[in-house]
């Protein structure tokens, strides 16, 4: 295989790729896309599949891929229906310099890993994020496709990325801010475990870089192509954000945080009314209102709503 890096890596680098799966047949397509990757010279790749189902439902499919895989595949059964347990299994079983994460409904282009590694090398960052492009079906509403509400990009605050996600990321495993860190089990069914992980990693001195060209693609199933699914997702994200902020703002400062978030809810609702005839702008403001409502909820200590498990299997 040939390298897509501008310059070859000077020493052997080991990379494990973690794929957490829960009753998704599409994981086979995800792995096959990894098999076709162009691997930079001196890079050794292994794949870790963490099956989060109560029964080892993915094992037969994974075993069937071993004969055609150019990489070693480690299958780990994590029967708890808790995504944090599966992610932590990838961390615990990683024996490499880097651990990359890709979701079990995404597909990778040939240069995905090369782009992540190149950005890691150039930036020296402890974590690298890549974008995820949503692929909408014919059943998705026009406003959703036009506004592209499902694609994933990092958010910059003051010129830096202070939190991240696991749907497209690379971690430097020997970094002090990463080594020994685990995903919060309490968030493993609600979501927000990735925000929690990366926010604390950043607070511990970990830098997060962005690999613009390390693009993954993800189809949007009919179950997610609705305003209510997006609103629930934004609300849960707001809960995690509000709780993380509240950890640093006890007493009166927390009251101010709640008041600010509540004011943002009102402002976004007002903007939604002003743009009520423009579906994209209206719904974007309503989803922002949902985010800030979640922030209020998280700040006052309401537990994150459950988002993962059997309902999210397909």
pLDDT in tens, 236-290: 989 988 888 888 777 788 889 899 999 999 999 999 999 999 999 999 999 999 9
Beta strands 98-102 and 168-172 are antiparallel
Answer yes or no: are the C-beta atoms of 133 and 220 closer than 8 Å.
no
Domain 13-222 classification at class level: alpha beta
pLDDT in tens, 210-236: 999 999 999 999 999 999 999 999 999
From residue 18, how far is each of 256, 300, 302 by CA, in Å?
A: 40, 34, 31
Q: How far is CA 173 from the centre of its chain?
A: 18
- Ordered per-residue pLDDT tens for the chain, 314 residues: 333 333 344 589 999 999 999 999 999 999 999 999 999 999 999 999 999 999 999 999 999 999 999 999 999 999 988 999 999 999 999 999 999 999 999 999 999 999 999 999 999 999 999 999 999 999 999 999 999 999 999 999 999 999 999 999 999 999 999 999 999 998 888 788 999 999 999 999 999 999 999 999 999 999 999 999 999 999 998 998 888 888 877 778 888 989 999 999 999 999 999 999 999 999 999 999 999 999 999 888 877 666 555 444 43
């Amino acid at each position: 295989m040939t390298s897509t890096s501008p310059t070859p890596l000077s020493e052997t680098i080991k990379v494990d790729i973690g794929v957490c799966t829960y009753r998704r047949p599409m994981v086979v397509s995800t792995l096959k896309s990894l098999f076709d990757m162009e691997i930079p010279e001196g890079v050794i790749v292994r794949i870790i599949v963490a099956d989060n189902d109560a029964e080892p439902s993915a094992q037969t499919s994974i075993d069937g891929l071993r004969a055609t895989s150019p990489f070693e595949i480690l299958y780990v059964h994590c029967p708890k229906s808790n995504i944090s347990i599966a992610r932590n299994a990838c961390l615990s079983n990683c024996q490499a310099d880097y651990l990359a994460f890709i979701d079990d409904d995404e597909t990778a282009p040939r240069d995905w890993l090369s782009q992540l590694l190149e950005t890691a090398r150039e930036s020296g960052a402890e974590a690298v994020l890549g974008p995820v492009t949503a692929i909408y079906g014919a059943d998705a509403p026009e406003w959703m496709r036009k506004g592209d509400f499902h694609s994933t990009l990092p958010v910059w605050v003051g010129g830096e990325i202070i939190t991240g996600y696991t749907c497209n990321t690379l971690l430097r495993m020997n970094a002090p801010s990463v080594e020994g860190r685990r995903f919060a089990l309490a968030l493993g069914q609600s979501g927000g475990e990735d925000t929690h992980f990366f926010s604390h990693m950043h607070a511990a001195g970990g830098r997060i870089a962005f690999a613009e060209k390390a693009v993954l693609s993800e189809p949007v199933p009919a179950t997610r192509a609705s305003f209510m699914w997006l609103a629930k997702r934004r609300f849960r994200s707001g809960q995690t954000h509000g709780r993380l902020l509240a950890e640093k703002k006890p007493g009166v400062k927390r009251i101010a945080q709640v008041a600010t978030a509540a004011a943002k809810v009102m402002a976004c609702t007002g903007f939604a009314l002003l743009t009520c005839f423009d579906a994209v702008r209206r719904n974007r403001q309503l989803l922002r209102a949902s985010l800030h409502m979640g922030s209020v909820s998280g700040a006052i200590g309401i537990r994150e709503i459950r988002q993962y498990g059997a309902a999210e299997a397909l």
